[in-house]
Structures are given as structure tokens and as C-alpha cells.
Chain A
Amino acid sequence: MDPAEVEFLAEKELVKIVPNFTQDKIFLIGGDIGPFSPSLPVSVPLWMAVNLKQGQKCRLVPPDWMDVEKLKDKKQEEMDSKFFTAMPSDQYMEVTQLILKSATDDIPHADEIRTLVKDIWDLRIAKLRSSIDTFVRSDATHAKLNHLTLMELNTVRPFLTQALDHMHVLRNNISGRIQSTQD
């Protein structure tokens, strides 16, 4: 999957905005949104929030977890734990990217948040890689990794599946099951 596709999926995530215009309920396939009235917070999908923000029609309220203190705690937890910890949002990377790109002025300490999220991401990717390595070296046939997000999985998918394919063939060699030429 392309990262852009993963991002597309993440755009369904709901975020709170404070609109500055009045509008009745909008009926969409994904559900009804609104009604909008000035300075009353309302939940909308991320794609709509980004769109409204670009038109200067709303102020974005950052999600609960997008906070310097909370992210610092999360980072520490991630560092201390040997395993993956549950992330506040399944799409933390994509949501951060989108919000920080379009609504930097609505997020307090945007720079710090960007760095922290990137740190957490790097920590998790390093963990992911070392667990893949242990998995490949061991003779295990399956592994269980909890709390991985879609984007993280997506960065290793084609590589990992190809490597496992290859190992499967090599394993079959040992057990003496050689595939015939034309199966």
C-alpha cells in the first residue's frame, strides 16, 4: 500500500473544530455532520477539517493526546517498555502530519509535538526492526506484535513478506519437499 492510501484511510478520523460560520446538518455517506454554528465545537472527519481550515472557516481543536506533556510520557513509556505500547490513536503519524501541515497556528508548541511524534515513531520502528530480525533468526513460524499501527506495518510489508516467502522455500528444502517445476 502506498503511504498516501494509508493517509486517506486516516482522514476518516474524527477531530473537533470550532467553526466560524453557520450551516445546517450535512448528510454524508459516512454519517451526518453538524449542525455548524459559530464558536460551538463540533466533530468532523479530518479531511473536512483540513478543507475548512484551508478556507479559513474554522479553528482546529487538537486531539487530547496531541499535547507536549502527554507525548513526553508516551515516549518515556515506549522507551521503557520492551514491547510496543498502545498508541493514543491508531493513526497518530498520519493525523499529526495532516494537522501540523494545515493548522500549525492552532496547535500550541507545534514544533515540539512534531519532534516528539517523530521520536516515538523512530523508537517504534527500531523496535519493529529488531523484532523482525529476531523473528527471522529464530525458527518460529509466526509472531505476534500488539499495538502496531497501519502506517508502521506498511513500512515493512513488501520487504517482510518477500523475505518470509524466500525463507519458506528454503525451509521446504530442509524438510525435503521440493516443489515440482510446473505447480
Chain B
Amino acid sequence: MSSSINDHFFSIDSILATQERLPCKVELPIFRLGYLDSATDGNDLLPGTKLEMPFWMAQSLCSRRRHIISIELPKQYRGSYREILDADANVVDLHKMGPYYYAFGTQLLRFDHADGSDIAKSLLMTFQMRFRKIMDSSRNSFNEDTCSLTNKLDETERSLFKAGQKELNDFQRWETRETEKLMTSKMVRNHRKRKRAALEEIS
């Protein structure tokens, strides 16, 4: 399922979630990669340099076995932001805090960070608090613009919202007896359009 934050190797969502930037500090000299840090002209990355790296790269450079860099938590997962979420998760713009807030947060727990368990708890609590709002708004907005409702939702929540909307629409269609009207299948309709476009190109 594309919505799930389970990270599958081929899941686009998971790939997008792991390319978030992560502030890191270099612990061992890394040779010939000086160009990664635009602040220096040197050839090598020296210990103590601070730079941002995508998560997937940081992950392999910082583990129990190798400790080439050390990572810091991105600010949206730090204590102060967690307190905001604690206070009222419903008003927070999770999409701004990283379109894959939950998925990225889950990934961050791979580094054995001291705050790990707090982050995990905060993620679950945030979702529980926001759930009611997503459920109600997705099920009560029939035939209207949903942008204002979804723009504060993180990607996982958006797919949840879409699922709710689909149910609502299906049910409404059934209730108004729309489902029994026979319609051209989408594939056939698109095929015709494409054919026409191809014909126009030729002529």
C-alpha cells in the first residue's frame, strides 16, 4: 500500500522520506569530499565540520560499527517542538515540518539517540490527537475544495484523508443511485482520447 509508512525498498514514499536533510558533524577526516561543504575550499572534510546530509547517506556513515559522523536531531523533532505537539497537535502544520513527518521520525529512531523513546511516543500521541480531525473532516466535506483541510496534513495523513473521501463519495453515489448507471470504463475513454490525439498529430 502506498500509504503505509512501512519502508519497503521500492516504495516511493519511503525513498522520498529518507532524502530529508539531517544536520551532521564530521568526526573523522573524509578525504576528497571537500566539495560537499561549500564553505571550504579544501579537498578533504575535516573533523568538526558541520554540514547537512540526506538521511540515507548519514545512515551508513553513522552506526554502531562506523562512527565517521555524528548526527543531530532536526529541529522539528527536538524537545521544544515536541512540547508544541503535546500542547495541541491539531493546529500544527505537519506538512511544513517535513512532508513525511511520521515516516522520517520513524527512520530517525534507527540512530540510537537518547531522545529516541520520547520521539516515538510523541509521534504516536500526535497521530492519536489528530486522528479525530482527519476522520471528521474527510467524511464531512462532500463536493467542496479540500485544500484548506489537507494543507496541514503530513503525506501519510493525506492518504488517510483520501481514503475517507473515497468512502464518502462511494456511499453518496450509492445513496443517490448513481452507481447503477452504466458508464464507459475509464480505460476505454482514455484510449479514445489518445487515439484522437494521435490522429490529429498525423493530419
Interface residues of A (CB under 8 A from B): 2-4, 7, 97, 101, 129, 132-133, 136-137, 154-159, 162-163, 165-167, 169-171, 173-174, 176, 178-179, 181-182
A selection of 18 A-B contacts at a CB cut-off of 8 Å is A2-B174, A3-B173, A3-B179, A136-B132, A159-B164, A165-B4, A165-B6, A166-B5, A166-B156, A166-B160, A169-B5, A170-B106, A174-B120, A178-B109, A179-B6, A181-B7, A182-B8, A182-B9
Task: Find out whether the CB atom of A97 lies under 8 angstroms from the CB atom of B132.
Answer: no
Is A163 a contact partner of B160 (Cβ separation < 8 A)? yes
Q: Please indicate the chain B residues that have their CB under 8 angstroms from the CB of A129 in the complex.
A: 135-136, 139
Residue pair A133, B135 in contact (C-beta under 8 Å) = yes
Complex Cα distance, B136 from A156, in Å, reads: 12
Query: How many contacts between A and B, using CB within 8 angstroms?
Result: 98
B150: Cβ under 8 A from any A Cβ: no
Most B CB atoms within 10 A — which of A159, A171, A178? Answer: A159
How far is it, in angstroms, between the C-alpha of A71 and the C-alpha of B1 when the chains are bound? 41
Is B46 interfacial (CB-CB < 8 Å)? no
Interface status of B159 (Cβ within 8 A of chain A): yes
- Given A158-B166, A159-B160: A173 touches B9 (CB 8 Å cut-off): no
> Are B124's CB and A170's CB within 8 A?
yes
For the complex, what is the distance from the CA of A167 to the CA of B134, rounded to whole Å? 14
Q: Output the least CB separation between B144 and chain A (Å).
A: 18
The interface residues of chain B lying within 8 Å CB-to-CB of A155 are 167, 171
Q: How large is the interface on B (under 10, 10 to 19, 20 to 34, 35 or more residues)?
A: 35 or more
Are A170 and B127 touching (Cβ within 8 A)?
yes
C-alpha spacing A167/B120, complex, angstroms: 11
**In the bound complex, how far is the Cα of B166 from the Cα of A151, in angstroms?**
15
Q: A163-B160, A170-B127, A173-B109 are in contact. List 12 more A-B contacts (CB 8 A).
A: A3-B173, A3-B175, A7-B174, A158-B163, A159-B135, A162-B1, A162-B4, A165-B6, A167-B124, A169-B106, A173-B123, A179-B6
Instruction: Enumerate chain B interface residues (CB-CB to A < 8 A).
Output: 1, 3-9, 102, 105-106, 109-110, 117, 120-121, 123-124, 127-129, 131-132, 135-136, 138-139, 156, 159-160, 163-164, 166-167, 170-171, 173-175, 177, 179-180
On chain A, the residues within 8 Å of B163 by CB distance are: 158-159, 162
A173 contact from B4, B106, B129, Cβ within 8 A:
B106
A158 and B139 CA atoms in complex are apart in Å by 13
**Which residue of B105, B123, B156, B179 contacts A2 across the interface (Cβ within 8 Å)?**
B179
- B108 — nearest CB in chain A belongs to which residue? A173
CA distance A7 to B174 in the complex (A): 9
Assess whether A179 is in contact with B7, with CB atoms less than 8 Å apart.
yes
Q: Which one of B129, B159, B175 has the greatest number of beta carbons of chain A within 10 Å?
A: B175
Residues of A within 8 A of B3 (CB): 162, 165-166
B167 contacts A170, C-beta separation under 8 Å: no
Docked Cα-Cα span, A7 to B110, in Å, equals 47
A133: contacting residue among B106, B132, B175, CB under 8 A: B132
Q: With a CB–CB cut-off of 8 A, which chain B residues contact A154?
A: 167
* CB proximity of B134 to chain A, nearest CB, Å: 8
* Selected contact of B6 from candidates A97, A158, A163, A169, CB within 8 Å: A169
CA distance in complex: A165, B159 (Å): 12
Min CB distance, B54 to chain A, in Å? 15
Question: Given A129-B135, A181-B7, are A3 and B123 neighbors across the interface (CB < 8 Å)?
Answer: no
- Give CA–CA (A181, B107) in the complex, Å: 10
Q: Once bound together, how far apart are the Cα atoms of A165 and B1, in whole Å? A: 10
**Cβ contacts under 8 Å, A181 to chain B:** 7, 9
